[in-house]
Amino acid sequence: MRSSLRISTLFAFVLLFCALTAAYGQDTPSDATTLTANPVYQKSCAKCHGKTGEGRHFGGPSLVSEKVAATSADDLRNIINNGKGRMPKYAGKLTPEEINRLILQIKAAKTKQ
Ligand code: HEC
């Protein structure tokens, strides 16, 4: 009896620990220097490229792919300014500074497969 009580206490602590780590994990990107923490990204891009930048909504591809990591800043700027396929153009909708910042943040984002 006693030992099963101890195990469930341990289990409760493990659950608490997981909940805390998950909450901390969600808080981490809140420094506005990362792509997913950038309000411009969340407002203009996340609906297609996903809140995490990994793509999937409305066919927007991942922005943290090997392909994007290998794309030059000039080419990224071209795609964002002029659009491509179903990707809308953002020249005139976002300022060049906002677009530059997005490019830097896309470049800085950690690549996932
Ligand atoms: C309406 C949905 C939509 C929105 C909003 C959108 N995109 Fe896209 N984006 C796409 C699609 C679809 C493609 C793929 C275009 C193609 O290759 O035909 C794409 C491609 C890209 C690419 C090139 C990726 C690659 O693999 O070559 C970049 C970079 C990009 N988008 C950045 C952005 C940024 C930054 C924003 C916000 C300013 C944004 N997108 C907003 C749909 C969207």
pLDDT of residue 11: 53
Give yes or no for residue 68 CB within 6 A of ligand 1: yes
Does 44 contact ligand 1 (Cβ within 6 A)? Answer: yes
82 to 3, 68, 90: CA distances (angstroms): 66, 17, 7
pLDDT tens for the chain, residues 1 to 113: 566 666 565 455 444 444 544 544 444 444 568 999 999 999 999 999 999 999 876 679 999 999 999 999 999 999 999 999 999 999 999 999 999 999 999 999 988 76
Q: Is the dihedral of CA 48, 70, 76, 43 positive or negative?
A: positive
Residue type (1 letter), 62 = S
Predicted local distance difference test score (pLDDT) of residue 9: 57
> Against a cut of 0.75, is the pTM above it?
no
What is the pLDDT at residue 29?
Answer: 40
Best of 40, 79, 81 for a ligand 1 pocket test (most atoms within 8 Å of beta carbon): 79
The pLDDT of residue 21 is 47
pLDDT of residue 33: 85
Residues sharing a CB contact under 8 Å with residue 39, sequence separation 6 or more, in sequence order: 32
What pLDDT was estimated at residue 64?
A: 93
Domain 31-108, CATH: 1.10.760.10
Distances from the Cα of 79 to the Cα of 17, 55, 88, 107, 112, angstroms: 43, 16, 9, 14, 21
CB atoms within 10 A of CB 110: 9
d(CA 12, CA 23) in angstroms, rounded, equals 16
Between CA 16 and CA 51 the distance in angstroms is 26
Give the distance (Å) from ligand 1 centre to CA of residue 80: 7
